[in-house]
């Protein structure tokens, strides 16, 4: 099943949509007490998901062609990001892949939706980069899970663009701020349930910036696969339902190119993962 958060015309609040081709059904219209957000759906467990699936055929379909998308996740308990999880990306940044994952937190203000505009002051950074990443959403609490059972705790998958101010990244000891400007973590447009992705390590992942393909890889190239990451993170803290894990970016970053390629004023960048979706962000640099 495929879901999205959509802001209907005349409304300021996003609502959960079950996506059916080019159309969508508002989930909160399906039955009394139906969830209005992805977080509510996840909290309801497998039973609520099955109820939504059974009722979907009775819902009124709405076209999504002109829909305004919100972030695929609205209020995750935490956004955990993994750095240096593709050898090619570590090498091009001149950084070493450690024996354990590099983990940092992204701030919730950075979440943004598909086809939105992300703006930042020129005075803060003119070295802003793109990073296509597979987003993993936890469905059931995960604590001390083995890699063999880690994917059982995954609810679904989405696309993340881990936008990064490279000059700040290299000038500070931690990476949260350089990746957490307002709008620096677009997600979506869709979340697909776990059963739609039999193998999260067999996905084509890519980035197109202003019409040019700059990242073209596969999640098979991850240094540590999704199951290993979930297991590792669950050793130190319980991963709560709704947690978003951004699993790292493949090679092809603009920072490492000669000449360097950064997001410019009025750039359009699309990051995508086959089988999940394509996430577009419009960029503005403010003087």
Tell me: the pLDDT tens digits for 161-193? 999 999 999 999 899 999 999 999 999 999 999
Mean pLDDT of 78-98: 78
Q: What is the pLDDT of residue 59?
A: 86
Mean pLDDT of 14-33: 94
% of the chain surpassing 70 pLDDT? 96
How many of the other CB atoms lie within 10 Å of CB of 277?
Answer: 21
98 falls in which pLDDT band (50, 70, 90)?
low
d(CA 162, CA 129): 8
pLDDT-wise least confident of 58-67, 126-135, 263-272: 58-67
pLDDT-wise least confident of 12-21, 85-94, 107-116, 278-287: 85-94
End-to-end Cα, the chain, rounded Å: 43
Mean pLDDT of 106-135: 97
Kindly write down the DSSP assignment for every residue of 106-159, as one continuous string. E-GGGEE-TTEEEEEETTT-S-EE--EEEEEEE-S-BSS--HHHHGGGEEEEEE
Q: Provide CB contacts within 8 A for 7, sequence distance 6+.
A: 13, 14, 15, 67, 68, 69, 70
Q: What is the pLDDT of residue 57?
A: 87
How remote is the C-alpha of 225 from its chain's centroid? 16
Given a cut of 80, whether residue 97 has pLDDT beyond it is no
Given a cut of 70, whether residue 196 has pLDDT beyond it is yes
Mean pLDDT of 120-141: 97
- The CA–CA distances, whole Å, from 58 to 42, 91, 160 equal 21, 52, 32
């Amino acid at each position: 099943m495929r879901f999205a958060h959509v802001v209907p015309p005349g409304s300021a609040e996003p609502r959960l949509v079950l996506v059916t081709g080019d159309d969508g059904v508002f989930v909160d219209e399906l039955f009394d007490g139906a969830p209005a957000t992805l977080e509510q759906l996840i909290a309801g467990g497998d039973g609520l998901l099955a109820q939504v699936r059974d009722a979907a055929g009775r819902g009124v379909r709405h076209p999504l062609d002109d829909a305004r998308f919100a972030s695929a996740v609205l209020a995750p308990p935490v956004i955990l990001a993994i750095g240096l999880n593709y050898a090619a990306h570590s090498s091009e940044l001149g950084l070493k892949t450690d024996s354990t994952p590099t983990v940092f937190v992204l701030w919730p203000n950075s979440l943004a939706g598909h086809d939105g505009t992300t703006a930042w002051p020129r005075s803060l950074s003119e070295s802003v980069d793109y990073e296509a990443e597979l987003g993993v959403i936890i469905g059931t609490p995960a604590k001390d899970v083995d890699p063999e059972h880690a994917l059982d705790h995954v609810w679904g998958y989405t696309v993340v663009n881990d936008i990064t101010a490279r000059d700040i990244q290299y000038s500070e000891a931690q990476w949260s701020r350089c990746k957490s400007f307002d709008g620096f973590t677009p997600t979506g447009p869709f979340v697909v349930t776990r059963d739609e992705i039999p193998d999260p390590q067999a996905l084509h992942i890519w980035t197109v910036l202003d019409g040019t393909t700059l990242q073209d890889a596969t999640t098979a190239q991850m240094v540590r696969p999704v199951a290993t990451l979930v297991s590792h993170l669950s050793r130190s803290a319980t991963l709560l339902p709704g947690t978003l894990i951004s699993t790292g970016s493949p090679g092809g970053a603009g920072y490492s190119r000669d000449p360097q390629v950064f997001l410019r004023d009025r750039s359009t960048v699309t990051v995508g993962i086959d089988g999940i979706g394509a996430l577009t962000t419009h960029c503005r640099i403010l003087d």
